[in-house]
A and B are shown apart, each in its own frame.
Chain A
Amino acid sequence: MPAEVLTVTSGKGGVGKTTTVANLAVALASLGSKVVCIDGDIGLRNLDVILGLENRIVYDIVDVIEGRCRLKQAMIRDKKIPELFLIPAAQTRDKNAVSASDMNRLVKDLRSECDYILIDSPAGIERGFKNAIAPADRVIVVTNPEVSAVRDADRVIGILEAEEKGPGSLILNRLNPVMVRNHDMLSADDVLDLLAVELIGIVPEDEGVLIGANRGAPVAADGKSKAGQAFRNIARRIKGETVPFLDLDSGGSLWQRLQKLTGRK
């Protein structure tokens, strides 16, 4: 079966797109799917460092597009998970080096090679973003429970609808359950009420994400991490499983655990 193409985007920068791509790629590959992730942020590449593959880059996406190497030569295999591959962005070029039809062609060639293709979109709603969504079967919009991130997510969802890419599926990243409980942060219900799109995951704020990034080892591979658990759940939902959401309202398990962690009760 040809691969499903998922593009991760957000409008606003810094909400966790690259982290999301890296973690979903690790989680999907750990479930046995063959995954190729593509860094679509030409000139500002980062997916390589988040995955810990920065020292292995020989060729990049622009080399493939401009015919300096074969597709397979630019696919870097992960150190630990043999089912996971990265096609890095070019660092010394700009987004004009790639067009939407280049992306479509590249993805078309990749589809028969793997189960999932994850594309990390650059921030913004300009050319790099348009290139990243062009080949997508499904778009995942990442946001934070924060006014600017929610507003930008809404704008992106509007553009996706206008481009007939569907409204997208939402990941609410960096939710702090203690702040939500104190009514100092928008809740998942608030954000869903505002954006009115399908929710595919809620990722709690977790220091482990930064620690994992420091090491080039995404938290999805860490069995103890809460954010890692959330990303693994999203990966299972992408594969079509029904996985219940972590309950944040009933004073249930996640609440209690997070409150213990932060010493509040």
Chain B
Amino acid sequence: MSFWDKLLGRKTSADSAKERLQLVLIHDRTDLTPAELDSLRDDLIATISRHVEIDTTAMQFGLEHDGRSQRLVADIPIKRAPRRRSSGKSRSK
């Protein structure tokens, strides 16, 4: 890592190695490719959307590791129209 890299705040090669390994190891351990993960996310969105309206732009979805165990973490905000609920319209149905 050169003086200029540091001065310009460029990512160090050790940081790149660690970030790349984090992703590679998650995929190695779960045997899921990024494409399969995308398809899983799309399926999840489709399934949940049949029941509630969700905010897909704000959702977070991915694999995380906790020690040597992997977990699939999805944080999916539900869109709701507050006025619709407060008006009591949906309840009267």
B65 touches A190 (CB 8 A): no
Residues of A within 8 A of B14 (CB): 180, 183-187, 190
- Interface pick from B21-29, B34-42, B56-64, B85-93: B21-29
A157 to B12, CA, bound (A): 27
Q: Which residues of A contact B65 (CB under 8 A)?
A: 196
Measured in the bound complex, the distance between the Cα atoms of B17 and A194 in whole Å is: 11
The interface size bin for chain A is: 20 to 34
A187 contacts which chain B residues (CB < 8 A)? 14
Interface residue ranges of B44-87 to A (CB < 8 Å): 65, 67-68
Instruction: Flag A167-187 by CB within 8 Å of B: 1 or 0 each.
Output: 100000000000010111111
A interface: dominant SS: helix
Give the A-B contact count at a CB cut-off of 8 A.
50
Write out the residue numbers on chain B whose beta carbons fall within 8 Å of the beta carbon of A146.
Answer: 17
Q: Which residues of B contact A151 (CB under 8 A)?
A: 21, 24-25, 28
**Is residue A45 contacting chain B, with contact meaning CB distance below 8 A?**
no
Q: How far is the CA of A155 from the CA of B27 in the complex (A)?
A: 11
| Minimum Cβ distance to chain B for residue A27 (Å) | 29
- A-contacting residues of B (Cβ < 8 Å)? 1, 12-15, 17-18, 20-22, 24-25, 28-29, 65, 67-68
A220 contacts partner chain B, Cβ-Cβ < 8 Å: no
Q: Which A residues touch B15, using CB under 8 A?
A: 183
B6 vs chain A, min Cβ distance (A): 8
Contacts of A158 in B (CB 8 A): 28-29
Min C-beta distance of B3 to chain A, whole Å: 10
Contact B21 A150 (CB under 8 A): yes
Q: Which residues of B contact A210 (CB under 8 A)?
A: none
Q: Complex Cα distance A195/B12, Å?
A: 20
The CA of A186 and the CA of B17, in the complex, are separated in Å by 7
Q: In the complex, A187→B25 CA distance in Å?
A: 17
Contact yes or no, A183 B12, CB < 8 A: yes
Q: What is the CA–CA distance of A182 and B68 in the complex, to the nearest angstrom? A: 28
In the complex, which residues of chain B have a beta carbon less than 8 angstroms from the beta carbon of A180? 14
Q: Is the CB of B29 within 8 A of A154?
A: yes
Also in contact, A196 and B24, with CB within 8 A (given A154-B29, A183-B1, A186-B18): no
15 contacts between A and B (CB under 8 A): A147-B20, A147-B24, A150-B21, A151-B21, A151-B25, A151-B28, A154-B28, A154-B29, A157-B68, A167-B68, A182-B12, A183-B13, A187-B14, A190-B14, A195-B68
